[in-house]
Amino acid sequence: MAINTSVEKVQDYDVEAIRRDFPALDQQIHGEQLVYLDNAATSQKPKSVIDSIVQYYENDNANIHRGVHTLSERATLSYENARKTVQKFLNAQTEKEIIFTRGATEAINLVAHAFLEKLSAGDEVLITAMEHHSNIVPWQMLCEKTGATLKVAPINDKGELILEEFEALISRSTKFSAISHMSNALGTINPIRQMIDLLHQHDIPVLVDGAQAIPHIAVDVQALDCDFYVFSGHKLYAPTGIGALYGKMERLEQASPYQGGGDMISVVTFDKTVYNKIPYKFEAGTPNIAGTIGLGAAIDYVSSIGVDAIAAHENSLLDYAVEQSKRIGKLRIIGTADNKGAIMSFVLDGIHPHDVGTMMDRQGIAVRAGHHCAMPVMDFFGVPATARASFAMYNTHEEVDALMAGIENLIEMVG
């Protein structure tokens, strides 16, 4: 199938060279070449990330911070270098503003816990209608414990935030806001800087959920002026079970620890505990050392290609997929925001999304099917679920062709 020349490939972007760096892409599924389009759920890992983990376990395996022997010192250096890598990637002022977590979900829960003592009955927490469950449930739990109220800014039929309604919900009672940078279910990219500015006019602290945005958008936390920014490593070509929280130093200083245990303490007696300095105050127990080192390696890999170059390539894939989908009469895209990332959620008339996912897998094509941990979004659009094709740096226009051919095949099979 010929590629539509109206959607140009990004010049000087060597996708085939990039693909060779990802071992998992070179395999067959049910006798068909794998077409991996489930990147919004998790991305594949480049060889450099895999090698960094092997290097740690084969040569430097030791606990960090507490040892004076060589292996511990090497492991500690690699771990703390990863923190500096994240700092540079986000343009935080200091590496002390970077806290390692298991992922975006734990980071959001950490911040919610920190505000447990700061909210009371009558206060309000403001989110949007496109949030992932991980940026809904922690705030519901916080509101239940404090008597605060959760306010939800609506979206329109394109899946875009209605900014005027968002602004109208900001009041003297608003004490915190948690907003997604990019929707995992729709691909919508929010006007995040404008939203932060509106909130900061009322001195309201803001958390930005960057789990979906971080692989696709260059993030500068100082330019955004957000109070907190969270992301997961596994969507950024890093291992699972590792993520990071950025927090402004003054916010972190004011926050109480999320967990108690080893390494987050300075002095412990049976009468009193003195907490460690930031960031260690929030990193209780032995961390995911190998995963953290892998996160640093993943960021190095992404940086070597360039987030802007990756985004341009992915946007060309999305534009091409949307254009090609127009010829399939039974296909309806859910989420048509003017500004969106490389996610195409869709439904097919008469075919349940779960059946779409299963039948596509038989053709070697990996797409997501379900509510994508965004059930309120599904309810808004009146669908139980969607199928979701999400693109990454290593996907190709030919794989978009395979996706469209696969959809046409299953429509023909169902009749």
9 pLDDT band, cuts 50/70/90, is low
Q: For residue range 157-215, what is the model confidence (pLDDT) as tens digits? A: 999 999 999 999 999 999 999 999 999 999 999 999 999 999 999 999 999 999 999 99
> Is 196 in the same domain as 262?
yes
Residue 226 annotated among the catalytic residues of the structure: no
In sequence order, the 6+-apart residues with CB closer than 8 A to the CB of 329 are none
Kindly state the average pLDDT of the residues 214-241. 98
Same domain for 299 and 315, yes or no, is no
Give, in order, the Cα–Cα distances in Å from 300 to each of 56, 158, 237, 245.
17, 35, 11, 18
pLDDT at 262 over 80: no
Q: Do 153 and 294 belong to one domain? A: yes
Task: Give the domain CATH number at 141.
Answer: 3.40.640.10
Q: Which of 283, 304, 325 is the last residue of a domain?
A: 304
Is residue 294 included in any domain, yes or no?
yes
Q: Is residue 38 part of a domain?
A: no
Summarize the confidence of residues 132-150 as an average pLDDT. 96
Band the pLDDT of 1: cuts 50, 70, 90. very low
**Residue 405, token pair as written in the block:** 């051919």
| Within-domain flag for 141 | yes
Q: Spot the catalytic one: 3, 41, 198, 373.
A: 373
Contacts of 335 (CB under 8 A, 6+ apart): 158, 159, 183, 185, 186, 187, 188, 343, 345
Are 29 and 82 part of one and the same domain? no
Q: Mean pLDDT throughout 38-65?
A: 97
Domain assignment of residue 106, given as a range: 49-304
Kindly state the percentage of the chain with pLDDT values over 90: 86
- Out of 288, 304, 320, pick the residue that ends a domain: 304
Q: How far apart are CA 94 and CA 250, in angstroms?
A: 12
Position 42 in a domain: no
Lowest pLDDT segment from 1-5, 24-28, 79-83, 231-235: 1-5
Instruction: Name the one residue in this structure whose structure tokens are 């109206």.
Output: 6
Please indicate, yes or no, if residue 56 is contained in any of the structural domains.
Answer: yes
Instruction: Specify whether 321 is located in the same domain as 275.
Output: no
Let me know whether 357 and 372 are in one domain.
yes
Q: Do 344 and 245 belong together in one domain?
A: no
CA atoms within 13 A on the CB side of 305: 27
Q: Please, what is the average pLDDT of the chain?
A: 94
pLDDT given for residue 259 in this prediction = 82
Please indicate, yes or no, whether residues 297 and 313 belong to a single structural domain of this protein. Answer: no
Residue 282: pLDDT over 60: yes
DSSP labels, 321-357: HHHHHTT-TTEEEE---SSB-SEEEEEETTB-HHHHH
Q: How many CA atoms lie within 13 A of 384 on its CB side?
A: 8
Higher pLDDT, 67 or 83: 83
Integer Cα distance of 63 and 78 in angstroms:
12
DSSP letter for 234, please: G
Euclidean distance between CA atoms 125 and 165, whole angstroms: 15
**Total structural domains within the chain:** 2
Among 269, 304, 339, identify where a domain stops.
Answer: 304
Are 93 and 192 contained in the same domain? yes
Question: In this model, does residue 269 exceed pLDDT 90?
Answer: no
39 inside domain: no
Task: Assess whether 28 and 56 both reside in one domain.
Answer: no
Same-domain pairing of 223 and 109: yes
Question: pTM above the 0.85 mark?
Answer: yes
The label of the residue with tokens 């002026």 reads 225
CA distances, 402 to each of 32, 96, 121, 164, 398 (Å): 11, 46, 54, 41, 6
> 173 with 287, same domain?
yes
